[in-house]
Chain A
């Protein structure tokens, strides 16, 4: 079962109510029953053992110092005898492949491994029901996929009931039996994933569409009568989406060949049509500007040629005999750009940002800033920025440090507060506001330095679709004020939609870079879902908007 909905919609609260030990304090009415018994009447052991819960933050959940200790922790709590613990541990370690890690201290594990460990540790109590609160939001895509696959296996092979709240729906939704949409504490929808797609299709401008997998969204965008489409035809995955597109294309191609030669619509014909379409697509866009997806819909000025920051053959390592994280890396940044740097885990993306911001000094090579150009850096974790008791104090101190005289500081702060919608939080403690607000506050603090370059480390991590869009709007706004933005991200969709240039970091260097359309269409795997789906038909289309723009052309030609 998948729970979805915007942050603050009550997903966590609901999950916590299902886990008795963590039920939030407050007024409760109604009843929660587990196997026909009220949850509050269950014996403590049963409640703790049969209902397991995994949380969002992989690090914060771990209690003990080594892997085996952590695994044993839950069993020790239940007071199992050593023999039982030993056999269960062996079983789970085998299932999760944790054996080689067993004696490792926790801090040597990667985020994905930690989250798997958390899951394994809960499973040792052999729960019948697993509750997961955005378990993959802090993981990179590869680790997240692995985690979800493991969950799927548990569900299929051990028939564990899984209730998961997620923003990463591309992978989860196709696996779900049931989807629940929570908004403002209310259950807005309940049904199968395909039902959900159909429901969203009936209300063309509902915000719920953002939660659908890309294949379904494309389906809804191109199929005006989606609301009444037969259930099985609704695609959820890339494969299904591709099959559906090809069936559409088959019809189109059929028409085309019928009209032209009355032939049988063979494969040769089809491919010719497609090639034509692709050219048409390019021809359509090329003269206006270098092909940037959704570029027309934005008012951001085109990047100029003014060089703001250049890295020349930068080499960096953390310790004297450590590995070289960056190897002779060269990169330039121009005014008004939004450069998205992508790359696998541990490729050195964050290190690159640190080096670019001058927080770390490279051993070889140089980072040169244009004259009078300053840069601001926003780390993944906004909590790193806060050291005062209220939002106001944080901003004031920062303005002071930035050297803004009193009056200008006031003006600047209130301007930023307005942009970031933080006016009502002035007297709150920075740790008491929501994650999104913390991010905005940290960004506002960085903006007080009035940087010309903004360096962002994984700004979309853990954001719900709505928040991502708001962030994109914010970044667009900043760009229109002449700020260049560099962001490192795993979020291919985000980069494809909003970046003006993309670069791939691999093995310490930039291996490829270019405008999103060229960059992604040359990739086979590392590209957007839409592109993977339509690449045979429209190789340059990266987003649904791209497809929609060209599809009519495609359709009219056929």
Chain B
């Protein structure tokens, strides 16, 4: 079910996530990174994806923390030496830098969790179709084959057990061998059938001229407004970044953080960029909640509810 930010045109979401990734990679500043993490986390929770976030978190934290630990161990730049570890100086700056890098990594990880939910691969491919039609087609075909092959593999596994090929029994060696036999059966069968797929493609005129792209997505007024907003609010931080703002210099010694008007403007604009989808999602949530309470008589709630929702389906 798509609603809120997820139901917007893929290009909007793509611009948003590309922008966030860009900021994560460029704006080396704890305030910005923390804002990004907070914004994304809140968006995920609003979209009901908190569980997914929690599931991935241990692994991501491990990766991120390892960076924070490794940096001071191997980097000895910086003015303030905290202590010596195995005859190597551990500096305050290196520790801080490691922590910053941890923030960057966490931002990127959380960004991708949100991205996976909002920009599904077919949306991504839709955006790609104009630039690389054949790659897109190939990827989409592969995406169709994967569930088909999984089902076939299950059938094959079941039937080959009759002839003693069973990837679930025996030593690891024989299990792996049997697993490969099953894959080979899948390969042979699927290749044979693929020729029929190719015929059907040809029969429907594949390759006689340049393909056009059909999209179920329509760039509506709200999408355009969002794109505009993203562009404007995205440019401002980039502009200031090029002027040297929004980056915390840690080496050789950390500069004190001070906020001038330029930093404030940059941060405000950045916040607009990061938080707009949140506002959108929140608004929709609120609308639903209020409409459920007021406008529908309880007897017909379910029916009108679903009908209304289906009109929202992209």
User: B196 and A55: CB pair below 8 A?
Assistant: yes
Contact pick for B162, options A61, A73, A446, CB 8 Å:
A446
Assess A385 versus B204: contact at CB under 8 Å? Given A76-B212, A78-B209, A79-B211.
no
Assess A122 versus B204: contact at CB under 8 Å? Given A61-B196, A66-B122, A401-B164.
yes
Of B161, B162, B164, B185, most A-chain CB atoms within 10 Å: B162
User: A57 and B205: CB pair below 8 A?
Assistant: no
User: Chain B residues with Cβ under 8 A from A386's Cβ?
Assistant: 185, 188
A301 CB within 8 Å of chain B: no
Contact pick for A63, options B200, B209, B313, CB 8 Å:
B200
0 or 1 for each of B191-203: is its CB under 8 Å from A? (1 = yes)? 0111011011111
User: Chain B residues with Cβ under 8 A from A45's Cβ?
Assistant: 205, 208-209
Task: Sort chain B's interface into a size bin.
Answer: 35 or more
Assess A61 versus B212: contact at CB under 8 Å? Given A125-B205, A384-B160, A387-B160.
no
Task: Sort chain A's interface into a size bin.
Answer: 35 or more
A121 CB within 8 Å of chain B: yes
B159 CB within 8 Å of chain A: yes
Q: Closest approach, in angstroms, between the C-beta of B106 and any C-beta of chain A?
A: 32
A398 CB within 8 Å of chain B: yes
Q: Which of A361-387 contact B (CB under 8 A)?
A: 376-377, 379, 381, 383-387
B88 CB within 8 Å of chain A: no
Assess A82 versus B159: contact at CB under 8 Å? Given A21-B202, A22-B199, A64-B141.
no
Decide if the interface of chain B is mainly helix, strand, loop or mixed: helix
Bound: A118/B144 CA distance, A: 15
User: B196 and A82: CB pair below 8 A?
Assistant: no
Q: Closest approach, in angstroms, between the C-beta of B1 and any C-beta of chain A?
A: 11
Bound: A103/B181 CA distance, A: 35
Assess A445 versus B163: contact at CB under 8 Å? Given A60-B196, A359-B158.
yes
User: Chain B residues with Cβ under 8 A from A285's Cβ?
Assistant: none
0 or 1 for each of B170-199: is its CB under 8 Å from A? (1 = yes)? 000000000001001100110011101101
Q: Closest approach, in angstroms, between the C-beta of A179 and any C-beta of chain B?
A: 25
Nearest to B192 among chain A residues (CB) is A431
A475 CB within 8 Å of chain B: no
Stretch at the interface among B147-155, B267-275, B278-286: B147-155
User: B197 and A62: CB pair below 8 A?
Assistant: yes
B297 CB within 8 Å of chain A: no
A204 CB within 8 Å of chain B: no
0 or 1 for each of A47-87: is its CB under 8 Å from B? (1 = yes)? 01100110101011111111011001111111111100110
Nearest to B188 among chain A residues (CB) is A431
User: Chain B residues with Cβ under 8 A from A384's Cβ?
Assistant: 155-156, 159-160, 185, 189
Q: Closest approach, in angstroms, between the C-beta of B138 and any C-beta of chain A?
A: 11
Contact pick for A401, options B156, B163, B214, CB 8 Å:
B163
Nearest to B310 among chain A residues (CB) is A100
B255 CB within 8 Å of chain A: no
A44 CB within 8 Å of chain B: yes
User: B185 and A61: CB pair below 8 A?
Assistant: no
Q: Which of A498-530 contact B (CB under 8 A)?
A: none
Assess A65 versus B205: contact at CB under 8 Å? Given A103-B313, A383-B189.
no
B143 CB within 8 Å of chain A: yes
A106 CB within 8 Å of chain B: yes
User: Chain B residues with Cβ under 8 A from A354's Cβ?
Assistant: 158
Known contacts A45-B205, A62-B144, A106-B144; 18 further A-B pairs (Cβ under 8 A): A55-B196, A60-B196, A60-B197, A61-B200, A63-B197, A69-B140, A73-B201, A79-B211, A85-B214, A86-B214, A107-B147, A357-B162, A359-B159, A359-B162, A376-B162, A384-B160, A387-B163, A446-B162
Q: Could you write out 16 A-B pairs with CB less than 8 Å apart?
A: A45-B208, A48-B208, A57-B193, A61-B196, A61-B200, A64-B140, A64-B144, A74-B204, A76-B211, A76-B213, A78-B209, A82-B215, A121-B204, A377-B162, A387-B165, A446-B162
